[in-house]
Amino acid sequence: MAEVIVSTEWVQQNLNNPKVRIVEVDYDPTTAYDAWHVPNAILIAWKELRHPVRRDFIEPADFERLMSEKGISNDHTVVLYGDFNNWFATYAFWLFQAYGHEDVRIMDGGRTAWAKEGRPTSREKPSFPKTQYKVRRVDWGSRRAYLWEVMQKVLHGEVKKNVILVDVRSPAEYRGEITAPPEYANEQTQVGGHIPGAINIPWGQAVDPETGKFKPPEVLRRLYESAGVTPDKEIITYCRIGERAAHTWFVLKYILKYPAVRVYDGSWSEWGNLVGAPVEK
């Protein structure tokens, strides 16, 4: 899996490699990147990846502008890591892949592993020469599921047959006992619950809680296959806004090599506010 996952040791050995750009992607940089970060790592706050007007990702031209300003070129090996066990790092990985960046990887364990291993940190914010980044392709089809697609699969009875919906939120969110985890207290929905037929496998079951690193492939395979998430099915993951769903998408697609996995990034913040949408608790 070296093409998509690198170790903390590899990152430390490549801190000053001009062919590598280390990027921290955070939900809240004030409590993460600003306090300390991997030396020579640049910051991308997750909201920088969001469209400035509508709920969507930034357009390809704006992605080009952002990468150019950050000093990232098309030829760089981009290594992503971040807070919350790489929630938003995998979210960014998903976008980099959709916009055709050929060499993007995740640092296993994120900030948690780096800190626990006592590796060097910095508060200095590096600056790299501006580049002329170009989006080489836009490919959402194999990565992103839209509301209308998920709704059709639910209404046509495809869920739990040839399609598996994986709700990666906490059990309390899945059951409808709460409508937002503590991290998203300001992101409420009108109703709680889950999409009919979805199974609940919280994203955190895929990582070691002590190190933040991904569990071994054989452990992950048992976890998902025992719940009916098998590679012969189409898999769609969702959470609240897509970042935890991207984490599970990464596990299924790149660690377990499932052929058909997509993220419904509209997730519960879309479904739970939609008038007339079917809901289970």
- Residues 6+ positions from 202 with CB-CB distance below 8 Å: 168, 169, 170, 171
Burial tier of 156 (Cβ tally within 10 Å: 0-12, 13-18, 19+): exposed
How far is it, in rounded angstroms, from Cα 123 to Cα 40?
Answer: 9
Catalytic residues: 239
| CA 202 remoteness from chain centre | 14
Q: What is the 3-state secondary structure (H, E, C) of the chain?
A: CCCCEECHHHHHHCCCCCCEEEEEEECCHHHCCCCCECCCCEEEEHHHHECCCCCCECCHHHHHHHHHHHCCCCCCEEEEEECHHHHHHHHHHHHHHHCCCCCEEEECCHHHHHHHCCCCCECCCCCCCCCCCCCCCCCCCCCECCHHHHHHHHHCCCECCCEEEEECCCHHHHHCCCCCCHHHCCCCCCCCCECCCCEECCHHHHECCCCCCECCHHHHHHHHHCCCCCCCCEEEEECCCCHHHHHHHHHHHHHCCCCCEEECCCHHHHHCCCCCCCCEC
